[in-house]
A = this chain, B = another copy of it.
Amino acid sequence: MANKEIPYKIYLEESEMPKEWYNVRADMKKKPAPLLDPATGKPMTVEALSRVFCEELSRQELNDTDAWIPIPGEIRDFYKMYRPAPLVRAYCLEKKLGTPAHIYYKFEGNNTSGSHKLNSAIAQAYYAKQQGLTGVTTETGAGQWGTALSMACSYFGLDCKVFMVKSSYELKPFRREVMRTYGADVTPSPSTTTAIGRQILAEFPGTSGSLGCAISEAVEAATSREGYRYVLGSVLSQVMLHQSVIGLETNAALDKYGIKADIIIGCAGGGSNLGGLIAPFVGEQLRGEAKYQFIAVEPKSCPSLTRGKYVYDYCDTGRICPLAKMYTLGSGFIPAATHAGGLRYHGMSSTLSELYDQGIMEARSVKQTEVFEAAEYFARIEGILPAPESAHAIRVAMDEAIKCRETGEEKTIVFGLTGTGYFDMMSYEKFHDGKMTDYTPTDEEIEAGLSKIPNIG
Name A residues whose Cβ lies closer than 8 Å to a Cβ of B: 7-9, 11, 13-14, 77, 80-82, 91-92, 110-112, 114, 151, 154-155, 173-174, 177-178, 180-183, 376, 379-380, 382-385, 420, 422-423, 425-426, 428-429, 432
Contacts and interface: CB of A to CB of B under 8 A. Distances in A.
A428 B181 contact: yes
B182 A379 contact: yes
A110 to B, nearest CB: 5
Contact of A112 (B183, B384, B423, B432): B384
B379 A112 contact: yes
B7 A177 contact: no
Given A11-B11, A81-B8, A81-B92, A429 B112 contact: no
11 contacts: A81-B383, A110-B110, A111-B384, A151-B383, A155-B383, A174-B423, A178-B422, A178-B428, A180-B428, A181-B385, A181-B428
A432 B177 CA distance: 9
A81 B92 CA distance: 9
A154 B378 CA distance: 12
A112 B14 contact: no
SS class of chain A's interface: helix, strand, loop or mixed?
A: helix
B183 A380 contact: yes
Nearest to A422: B422
B182 A429 contact: no
Nearest to A17: B7
A383 B425 contact: no
Contact of A422 (B8, B14, B183, B423): B423
B428 A177 contact: yes
Contacts of A425: 173-174, 177-178
B385 A178 contact: yes
B8 A380 contact: no
Nearest to A424: B174
A275 B7 CA distance: 29
Contact of A14 (B7, B110, B181): B7
A79 to B, nearest CB: 9
A383 B112 contact: yes
Contacts of A9: 14, 80
A172 to B, nearest CB: 10
A376 B180 CA distance: 10
Given A112-B420, A174-B422, A182-B379, 17 more contacts: A7-B14, A7-B80, A8-B14, A11-B11, A81-B383, A82-B383, A110-B110, A112-B379, A174-B174, A174-B423, A174-B425, A178-B422, A178-B425, A180-B428, A180-B429, A181-B380, A181-B428
Contacts of A80: 7-9
Sorted nearest first, the 8 A-B pairs with minimum C-beta distance are: A174-B425, A8-B80, A177-B425, A7-B14, A422-B422, A112-B385, A154-B380, A177-B429
A359 to B, nearest CB: 37
Point out which of A9, A151, A154 has the most chain B C-beta atoms below 10 A from its C-beta. A9
Contact of A180 (B8, B182, B422, B432): B432
Contacts of A155: 380, 383
B8 A181 contact: no
Contacts of A183: 380
Contacts of A379: 112, 181-182
A84 to B, nearest CB: 9
A425 B147 CA distance: 13
A432 B181 contact: yes
Given A177-B425, A385-B112, A182 B81 contact: no
B423 A383 contact: no
Contacts of A382: 81
Contacts of A173: 425
A180 B425 CA distance: 10
Nearest to A177: B425
